[in-house]
Amino acid sequence: MRTGTPVRRLVARALPLMDAFARAALQSSHLVVPDTEQAIVVAQATCPGNWEFGIRVGTQIALLGTGSGHTLLAFQDPHLTEEALDRWQRDGKDHDMDAMRAELEACRNAGHRIGPSQQIRGVDDISVPIRSPEGHAIAVLTCPYIQRLDGKAQPEIDEVLALLKGVAQDLSLS
């Protein structure tokens, strides 16, 4: 998906929902769309508190090395996912494709991905697909979940997942 008119429409629909999510979850979120063999962040919502982790709009991210990328791959048309994995396996780099396929399958079975960030220690990425009518990911909504240590109240990770899934459901095309 290129960053043209359909993406602008998605962003326009997503931003109010993402802002409401940020207020309810006390967490940031970002929206990612596929862009050739990578993905690109097209929207970001900031939590209302003093502490957050965010990623800049326009940032290109790797599909193999991010929670958002794994979620995009897991929920793409299976033939496209296999083509991408085969291409990366042939690139000569040391990718464990069997482990990647197992992770993508676990993500598909769960309907989401929760796991440690592959870029920042101490952050758990919660990623959910935004789906086309055929059930394939057209985008991914990710919350870099940060757990407070100061005792201030915040929703638990399972509550944040439920909120994020609600936003993704509202944005999915049915």
Which CATH number characterizes residue 127's domain? 3.30.450.40
pLDDT above 50 for 1: no
pLDDT in tens, 86-131: 777 776 666 677 888 899 999 999 999 999 888 788 889 999 999 9
Mean pLDDT of all residues in 132-145 = 94
Assign 167 to helix, strand or coil: helix
Per the structure, how many domains does the chain have?
1
> Are 9 and 130 contacting, i.e. CB atoms less than 8 angstroms apart?
no
Q: Say how far apart CA 157 and CA 146 lie, in whole Å.
A: 9
| Angle (CA) 1 97 109, round 5° | 70
Q: What is the pLDDT of residue 92?
A: 60
Mean pLDDT of all residues in 25-33 = 95
Q: What is the pLDDT of residue 62?
A: 84
Question: Which domain range does residue 142 map to?
Answer: 5-171
Q: Say how far apart CA 37 and CA 50 lie, in whole Å.
A: 35
Q: What is the mean pLDDT of the chain?
A: 88
pTM for this prediction? 0.89
Task: Calculate the alpha carbon distances from 33 to 26, 42, 138 in Å.
Answer: 23, 7, 7
